Amino acid sequence: MNMHPSAEAMLDSSSEWQPRRFDDWALAARTVALLWGLYLFTVVARAFLGPDPLTFLQNKIWIFLAGMLLTGAIYLAISALAPGANLRRKAVVAAIGSLLASAAMAGILVSAEGHMRDSEEEFRYEVQEGFVVVTKGQQVRIERSRGDPLVLTMPKVADLKQWDQFRIAADTAVVWLFFFAAWSAVYLAAVSQRQALVLQRRAAQAETAAQAAQVRALRYQVNPHFLFNTLNSLSSLVMTGRGQEAESMILKLSTFFRTSLSLDPNADVTLEEEIELQRLYLDIEKVRFPRRLKPEFDVPAELRGARLPALILQPVVENAIKYGVSATKDKVTLRIAARSPQPGRLQLEVTNFGGTALKSPRQRHQPASTGVGLANVCQRLDARFGRDASCSFGALPDGGYQVVMTLPLTDKDG
């Protein structure tokens, strides 16, 4: 069984939306690379501000590598423990992961201190007491105006008491906690945006599919209504012994259905093609009303290529025949006109006038209750164009009835 393209698109979107672990690894990789790339850039820039950039970079590479690995671990935890679309659960996992990652980073830095090289950078500070304090690596030298400089060697963190080590590690963990939390926030924001875009795309596809289904249903609603009227006409011709006219009507009916049913219900046709279909339909009805029906067409050449929904005029013309021509013994003119009242707008008018029956109060109000006909047209225009189209109808002051449809003017298939 063939499936409508919009339905296939919705199935593809639904399968895409099924939650899977690690399906957003590329997004996570980009955010990790962005954050730690910025960190590396600032580290390199800082390194070349001092006299010993190589040592500075070598000491910082531990942080860079450990940070990349720990951030990746946070992502793995989020994807493994919260693979679905529940952002609240992802945020909880991310918060716990950031806490653990910051603690791990502090432990790594404390452990790696013994493997780091002393930098040759020197910082000099003049204190209020008149001394000059010079720091270089682990050494602190205090230069005094009198006497030799006092040189102090600061202990490694590993040489401190365990409580002091813990406090230093805790301070370091607090600093890195905000760093990992920042990545988590960026990642979750990107995930949220991605989910919103997927939902928006699915909603748009669902709306498009629903609109296409509505247009298709309304379009096919025309054919049974037209067939019912035509079969009644054929029945009248056969019952009155007008076999030749009935045969001609059947041939024209066959041509009409072969042409109309070959059209894609969701595709547009040119105004010229639509008018030709209505000419064929009116030829069928002229077999039934040879002396009462007078069709007229006023379609400028520059508008014949305009696109519009297929058979949009059919219910209107049917109503004109049913409530105009068949309701009187006089000649009735049925006029189909097209014009462009303003740039980018196409206006179609179907008017029937003439015949004494149309001028009675009862007949004036009869077309308002046509049911399928005019309601079908207005619904199709609304489903196809929304507020860009309008449909109005009503009795004319001097008798007759007119339907006016306004829609966007385009020469491309929409």
Nearest to 125 by CA among 139, 141, 149: 141
Q: Would you state the pLDDT for residue 298?
A: 95
Question: What is the arithmetic mean of pLDDT over 283-309?
Answer: 89
For residue 329, name the pLDDT band (cuts at 50, 70, 90): confident
Work out the percent of the chain whose per-residue pLDDT is above 70. 84
Q: Would you state the pLDDT for residue 216?
A: 63
Most confident of the following: 61-65, 218-222, 296-300: 296-300
Residues 62-105 have pLDDT tens digits of: 889 999 999 999 999 998 888 776 788 899 999 999 999 999 99
Question: What is the arithmetic mean of pLDDT over 116-130?
Answer: 79
pLDDT(3) > 70: no
State how far the Cα of 296 lies from the Cα of 32, in Å rounded to an integer: 71
For residue 217, name the pLDDT band (cuts at 50, 70, 90): low
- For residues 348 and 121, the model is more confident at 348
Question: What is the arithmetic mean of pLDDT over 273-293?
Answer: 86
- Sketch the domain layout of the chain as residue ranges: 5-116+162-210, 221-408
Question: What is the arithmetic mean of pLDDT over 245-260?
Answer: 81
Domain 221-408 indexed as CATH 3.30.420.40: no
Q: Would you state the pLDDT for residue 67?
A: 92
Beta-bridged to residue 133, according to DSSP, are 125, 142
Q: Would you state the pLDDT for residue 13?
A: 42
Among the ranges given (34-43, 144-153, 399-408), the one the predictor scored with the smallest mean pLDDT: 144-153
Mean pLDDT across the chain:
81
State how far the Cα of 177 lies from the Cα of 169, in Å rounded to an integer: 12
Q: Would you state the pLDDT for residue 366?
A: 43
pLDDT(31) > 50: yes
Token readout for 340 is 């462009």
pLDDT(151) > 70: yes
Q: Would you state the pLDDT for residue 69?
A: 93
Place of tokens 């209504």: 225
Contact of 310 with 267, CB cutoff 8 Å = yes
